[in-house]
Structure 1
Amino acid sequence: MKHSLLCSAIALSLFGCGGSSSDSENTPSQPQNTAPSLSGVANNTVKALQSTTVTLEMSDNESDALTFTIEDKPQWVTVDLSENTAALTLAPGFFDIGSHELALNVSDGELSQAYSLTVEVDDNPEQWRDDISLSRAELRGAWSNSANDFNIVFNGYDAGALIIDDTMKQFDYELNNSATAVNLAVDPALCGPYCEREQQTATLRAVAESDSQLRIHVEGLEQNYTFNMAKRSAPSVEKAYSTDELVLGSSFLGQLEINTESNLEAKFYLPNQYYKSAGIVGTYDGEILDVNEVIINGPLSYYSDKADVIFSQHFYKKTSGGIKEITLGRNVNYVEPLFIDDNFIVYDIVHSGEVLSSLDGHSVDDFDGLAPLLTDYASLSAQYRLNQVAPPALSFGDKYIGRLVGEHIINDTVFLKAVEVIFDTATELTIPFTVPHAEEPYELPITYEIGPNQLTLNYQESEVEVAFFQNHKGDTLIASDMSQGPKWVTPFIAIQEQQPLSVQSFAGVYEHITDAYYKSDVFYSVFHSDGTLGYRLLADGPLDEVELSEETTHFWGVHDSRVVFIEYDSCSQATNFAECLSLVKRADADNLFTYVQSLTPLSTGAESTIFNYSSYYGGWTNSESDSVSNTAVNSLRQLKKH
């Protein structure tokens, strides 16, 4: 009996013994060779940090020398060879958890037989460690599990993004006192690191570690998660579009594209000031973009030549008492992409602060809370990635949700943000602008051309490019005025035929899904059947906590297939909706101040309805030209009826 060891495999050689005869006349015919066999192969289960032994028996009808191999043998499998057996010791660790197929082979040198041994490595929470310390430097970056359906991103300060399947949420984080756990405060939706909505608390800790991986356990979310996580390499940057979580009104369309001399369209969240977009010019070294110039689209001040973002705040003087207003600036230093895939983009914007106003002889430390606003800080920006697509097939004569133009002026009225479009033919379309109290919408006819990547509108003596996108959910979105760079995106949806409105059918309690107040959970509007409305009732909790008997603020009624609601102040002499609407129309005709709003149902889903929300301000006086101007604004809102 001999053993032989083959390269890159464990081998067992079995030698049989036999005799031979010199009488050639009586030599029997040679029997046909048969393949050897292996017994004892079965499915096996073992826990991490435990071991078990699998015993395999080899045999051959002709007693030939046999060779046993395991292809690509894992390190946690060892083989003990003895006689005609191979004892496999399975001793996996936490980073071997999962299903493994061991490819076995037994051969007599001429014929071989393949076998498969399934080994299931299970978790072993009893052996989890609770003493693994973490640091911000170690955590910084993006971590993913093997299925890539659980990703977590940390910046080097106190923010991160959690990406589970096709959803993304931002969080603030801190290490516990022993640095063995990470406390997460998870936002309910993407609303920036300075969002003040109630956060969900969770705890992340490492229960096993290797040179390049962490096994983490997260408690406190909708369910508990335990995964082996590997740190992702720095993301490659290519041209990509992105947006925050889509709201129906409109969402900012960002552009991410970096090379040695290029721009990056970013979304900024900085202390005390929010900017929709900024164009960044700088130098990219493969990891970060050093910022040389920032062009901000948003509110600017006379300090803008000294700092990128300006804001003022009151501070208490610790030494002499009293309150002083101090003007501060935030300078954007560099941008670092942290995570990029087909659905999401996450990056840091690192900025520092400076004082732009006089401190009247005081130092920074003399004011409570001033010093932290001057330090370097990284604002995490988490966005959904959009993929540009060809224009979809259009049904001519049907109406769609989607913003194609931003502003149109006729006579003394400015029409803003139309959110409906009718494609009349392959070359002509109509954009309706809803005016709440008018009998019919104002309609703007436009000619257009369908190209391979966009629609080109002939609008106001110029061409406007309209592009289409899809998000990670497969929704189709539309962006107007792409010729001027990325602007805004809105949904692009075929409008469904709605049931006729009546006071009886519409009266009820509505949750404002896409029109929540910045610092609250949700608003409700209560349309009473008597034609009065308790508008924008703030609720910090569930619906049964809303005070439905709260004093009403508006008259409301159905007018020309839409719900019109008017504040009492606009028709103080009226006692019902019909009188109020009549007074508003008369005031508008006389160029007196008019404010009226409406909701037109466009598309109803399983739980909510998308409305065209229209507001009209009439009788505004332009002091420069002493003229009267009116403004009609359209946008999209989503409400859920309870």
Structure 2
Amino acid sequence: MIRNLLIASAISVTLSGCGGSSNNTQEQTQPAPPKTSTPTPAPTKPSINTAPEITGETSSEILAVTGGEIVFALSDSEGDSLDVSVEHNLEWMSYTQNDNILTLKLQPGLFDIGDYDIRITLSDGKDSTEHSIAISVKDNPDEWGAYPLSKEMLFGGWSNKDESLILAFNKVNQGLVINEGQIEQISLEQNEHGEVQTYLLSCYATPTDCVNKSALDFQVIAKEENKIRIQYKPLGQNATVTTLAKQIAPAMTDKFKYNRPAGELTYMPFPAGYVSVDGEFESLMSVRLIAPNTVDQTSNQLFIIKAEFDKGLFTKSSLNTADSKKASFNHKDSGEKIYYDYYNQYNKIDVLYSSENYTVFDINFENVLTAQTESWLSEEEKEQIRPLLAPRHSLTAIQPLTKATDYIPKKNTTYLTQIFLENQSETPSSSRSHISQEITLLDDSEADLVIAPNTLSHATYTIEDAEMSIELDSQTTKVQLLNSPQSEHIYALTTYSRTYNYYIFETSKRPLLSIFSEQNYQALEQDYLNSTYIMENYKVEFTDKIAVRTHSSGNTQVGEVTYLENGSMDIRWCNGEPLNQACESFTSITMNFKVENKFKDNYLIRTKTKYSGNIERPYSHLMFATKQ
């Protein structure tokens, strides 16, 4: 019995362990629920900001004085608050923003004529947009003013931004204009109504004639402190309307150490100068001044001024007794023409204008009779010409010459020039510099010089810092190789020296400029025939057998021509008019005319004068010419 109970208990335990069911109240184990993951929320997509927009013109034209407004629409797709900035430094421009409207308010004057680029920036705090507008302020002749001309208003030196027009006026109603490089003298004169009228004198176009003048339409149409706007219209030319600014406290700089009279270089040798702006040495300046020839005639003449400067301003001048001039007058009783010699005494030299390209002077000077003239004129005659000797003013301008440091002359090459050597030729009355008309550079140190009139000499040379040192017969000549403004050529600057024995060994020195040009052109006969070459003071017209030279005065000379193998023409001047293109007789003078070089816009001409027996003058002339 007991044994049966034990077996039953064992079976019950076994079933229970196997998960089977029983009638017992014992708790059963439940299966675990399946695992589930918590979903991650999707990221929120950020909102995209749109840059604000400016809608309006990209260019606009307005009239000076009249002015106007330019309106722009501003927008932002998100409706953000907008901030506007307008970049400019123009006193005549302002702007307002009213909600989504931007208004540029423009009120330019006559001095504001020109083109301007304005940049507008619009920001919504997150992004920004830029908008550019080109504004062109146009002239407005209906608003031009009319300012009476006066020496008080015009005194000083004036120029526009690019120096295409420079004006300078002194206090005695004289003016000088440099218009696109062309120089003219201006006269301010009062008419019978008390109005000031302006005229252009012919002194620079025709140096011998300073009497003839032409009307000049010169108006000041707007005026501010140290600024004027003008209309400048010479007779027969187009009008120039421009703004000129007055130069304050002008002074020369050391850029003018080497200089020359302003204007075209038309012939060689051309007068030049050298200046010490700080007074390290006495300066020599070659200038053009309007000075009297006779009681009733003046001309534009070249003078050499000895002067001293400090900080670019004139301090004093010494009398250059070697630079005498000749003038004449008719005796008041007999009518006899009497000649006299004089020097200039320079009392004051004021700088009216100075830039890198020009310096304009107002020169106050008076004539001083030479000792010889003082001795032969009577007191009555001296009294008659006293008005000619009185102090006067003349305006003049110079241009700088700069060292040609980038220029390297070629070896085995001949250069046309006129170099004045330290070597002197002696005569009983004087001694003067030898002139070299050509120089051939053989190698790095040897050269051949052609000394006028036709002597070949061997020399040595060196070149350093645009200075050529030529040694000939133990004498050294310094040659400055220079550039000239508005010129494609290289120039040589030397000093011509002459000592007058009969003036107690008085020495005259004159800085002279000549072209330094490679000889690379061989003129042919057809270069001359049926051609006209126009120089500064005359022109030469060639036909088949005849040449006609016409001077600026209107006088003419006619000669027979012969073409030579060296590419030149000999012109034998006729006595009287030729018959059937042949001279019946000749003068004792023959001119040799040669086209030496051909450039872009002109030609280089050399002329030599020969007398009977083929005797040449000791020098020749180089000049620029245009060809017709």
Same-fold call, TM > 0.5?
Answer: yes
Q: Which residue of 1 aligns with 2:98?
A: 82
Equivalent in 133, 151, 154 of residue 117 of structure 1: 133
Q: Which residue of 1 aligns with 2:304?
A: 277
Matched, 1:612 2:598: no
Q: Distance in 1 between matches of 2:465 and 2:89?
A: 53
Structure 1 counterpart SS, 2:268: coil
Residue segments in structure 2 that go unaligned for 5+ positions in a row: 1-40, 294-300, 498-507, 576-580
Q: Which residue of 1 aligns with 2:221?
A: 207
Structure 2 counterpart SS, 1:137: helix
- Displacement, 1:180? 7.0
Equivalent in 556, 559, 563 of residue 558 of structure 1: 563
Matches within 5 A, 1:77-226: 77-130=93-146, 132-165=147-180, 167-175=181-189, 177=191, 183-185=198-200, 187=202, 189=204, 195-196=209-210, 201-220=215-234, 222-226=237-241
User: Does the CA-based 8 Å contact 1:159-1:380 persist in structure 2?
Assistant: yes
User: Which whole-Å deviations, capped at 9, do the CAs of 1:391-444 have from their partners, x for residues lacking one?
Assistant: 733333322111234577599999963422222222221223576xxxxx5322
Structure 2 counterpart SS, 1:448: strand
AA matched with 2:305: A
User: Does the CA-based 8 Å contact 1:79-1:86 persist in structure 2?
Assistant: yes
Q: Distance in 2 between matches of 1:54 and 1:392?
A: 54
User: Does the CA-based 8 Å contact 1:276-1:297 persist in structure 2?
Assistant: no
More moved, 89-98 vs 39-48:
39-48
CA RMSD of the aligned region, Å?
Answer: 4.3
Q: Which residue of 2 aligns with 1:54?
A: 70
Q: Distance in 2 between matches of 1:434 and 1:599?
A: 16
For the structure 1 residues 128 and 211, does the alpha-carbon distance in structure 2 shift closer, same or farther, using more than 3 Å as the test? same
Matched, 1:425 2:443: yes
Q: Which residue of 2 aligns with 1:381?
A: 396
Q: Which residue of 2 aligns with 1:467?
A: 480
- Displacement, 1:218? 1.3
Q: Distance in 1 between matches of 2:343 and 2:515?
A: 36
For the structure 1 residues 397 and 389, does the alpha-carbon distance in structure 2 shift closer, same or farther, using more than 3 Å as the test? same
Q: Distance in 1 between matches of 2:100 and 2:401?
A: 61
Q: Distance in 2 between matches of 1:145 and 1:262?
A: 34
User: Does the CA-based 8 Å contact 1:349-1:379 persist in structure 2?
Assistant: yes
For the structure 1 residues 111 and 258, does the alpha-carbon distance in structure 2 shift closer, same or farther, using more than 3 Å as the test? same
- Displacement, 1:323? 7.6
AA matched with 2:169: F
Equivalent in 289, 292, 295 of residue 320 of structure 2: 295
- Displacement, 1:335? 1.1
Q: Percent identity?
A: 16
Structure 2 counterpart SS, 1:138: helix
Matches within 5 A, 1:445-524: 445-472=458-485, 473-481=487-495, 487-501=511-525, 506-508=528-530, 510-514=532-536, 516=537, 522-524=538-540
Q: Distance in 2 between matches of 1:295 and 1:414?
A: 18
Q: Distance in 2 between matches of 1:497 and 1:463?
A: 31
Q: Which residue of 1 aligns with 2:83?
A: 67
AA matched with 2:439: V
Structure 1 counterpart SS, 2:619: strand
Equivalent in 599, 619, 629 of residue 593 of structure 2: 599
- Displacement, 1:102? 2.4
User: Does the CA-based 8 Å contact 1:59-1:84 persist in structure 2?
Assistant: yes
User: Does the CA-based 8 Å contact 1:180-1:205 persist in structure 2?
Assistant: no
Q: Which residue of 2 aligns with 1:13?
A: none
- Displacement, 1:287? 7.4
Structure 2 counterpart SS, 1:126: helix
- Displacement, 1:46? 0.9
Structure 2 counterpart SS, 1:100: strand
> What TM-score does the superposition give when structure 1 sets the normalisation length?
0.73
- Displacement, 1:226? 0.5
Q: Which residue of 2 aligns with 1:243?
A: 260
Structure 1 counterpart SS, 2:153: helix
- Displacement, 1:50? 1.0
For the structure 1 residues 95 and 470, does the alpha-carbon distance in structure 2 shift closer, same or farther, using more than 3 Å as the test? same
User: Does the CA-based 8 Å contact 2:496-2:512 persist in structure 1?
Assistant: no
AA matched with 1:210: E
For the structure 1 residues 447 and 507, does the alpha-carbon distance in structure 2 shift closer, same or farther, using more than 3 Å as the test? same
- Displacement, 1:380? 1.4
Structure 2 counterpart SS, 1:337: strand
> What TM-score does the superposition give when structure 2 sets the normalisation length?
0.74
Q: Distance in 2 between matches of 1:229 and 1:29?
A: 64
- Displacement, 1:51? 2.9
Matched, 1:335 2:357: no
User: Which whole-Å deviations, capped at 9, do the CAs of 1:113-147 have from their partners, x for residues lacking one?
Assistant: 332232211111122123x1221132122212233
- Displacement, 1:209? 1.7
Q: Which residue of 2 aligns with 1:19?
A: none
User: Does the CA-based 8 Å contact 2:175-2:186 persist in structure 1?
Assistant: yes
User: Does the CA-based 8 Å contact 1:310-1:329 persist in structure 2?
Assistant: no
AA matched with 1:469: L
For the structure 1 residues 311 and 353, does the alpha-carbon distance in structure 2 shift closer, same or farther, using more than 3 Å as the test? same
- Displacement, 1:465? 0.8
User: Which whole-Å deviations, capped at 9, do the CAs of 1:597-630 have from their partners, x for residues lacking one?
Assistant: 422332134675433322245899xxxxxxxx98
User: Does the CA-based 8 Å contact 1:255-1:486 persist in structure 2?
Assistant: no
More moved, 604-613 vs 471-480:
604-613
Q: How many residues align?
A: 547
Residue segments in structure 1 that go unaligned for 5+ positions in a row: 1-24, 300-308, 436-440, 517-521, 570-574, 585-593, 621-628
User: Does the CA-based 8 Å contact 1:217-1:227 persist in structure 2?
Assistant: yes
- Displacement, 1:97? 1.0
- Displacement, 1:252? 1.0
Compare CA radii of gyration and give the structure with the larger one. 2
Matched, 1:634 2:620: yes
Q: Distance in 2 between matches of 1:523 and 1:277?
A: 28
User: Which whole-Å deviations, capped at 9, do the CAs of 1:350-404 have from their partners, x for residues lacking one?
Assistant: 124678968858996xx5x854x45543211222321112373333332211123
User: Does the CA-based 8 Å contact 2:94-2:104 persist in structure 1?
Assistant: yes
Q: Distance in 1 between matches of 2:600 and 2:55?
A: 58
Q: Distance in 1 between matches of 2:368 and 2:427?
A: 47
User: Which whole-Å deviations, capped at 9, do the CAs of 1:558-581 have from their partners, x for residues lacking one?
Assistant: 345333334568xxxxx989998x
Q: Distance in 2 between matches of 1:450 and 1:74?
A: 53
Structure 2 counterpart SS, 1:467: strand
For the structure 1 residues 353 and 609, does the alpha-carbon distance in structure 2 shift closer, same or farther, using more than 3 Å as the test? closer
Q: Distance in 1 between matches of 2:139 and 2:213?
A: 30
Q: Distance in 1 between matches of 2:214 and 2:401?
A: 27
Structure 2 counterpart SS, 1:161: strand
- Displacement, 1:256? 3.0
For the structure 1 residues 420 and 123, does the alpha-carbon distance in structure 2 shift closer, same or farther, using more than 3 Å as the test? same
For the structure 1 residues 149 and 477, does the alpha-carbon distance in structure 2 shift closer, same or farther, using more than 3 Å as the test? same
Structure 1 counterpart SS, 2:111: helix
Q: Distance in 1 between matches of 2:366 and 2:495?
A: 33
AA matched with 1:558: Y
Matches within 5 A, 1:38-53: 38-53=54-69
Matches within 5 A, 1:222-237: 222-237=237-252
AA matched with 2:176: A
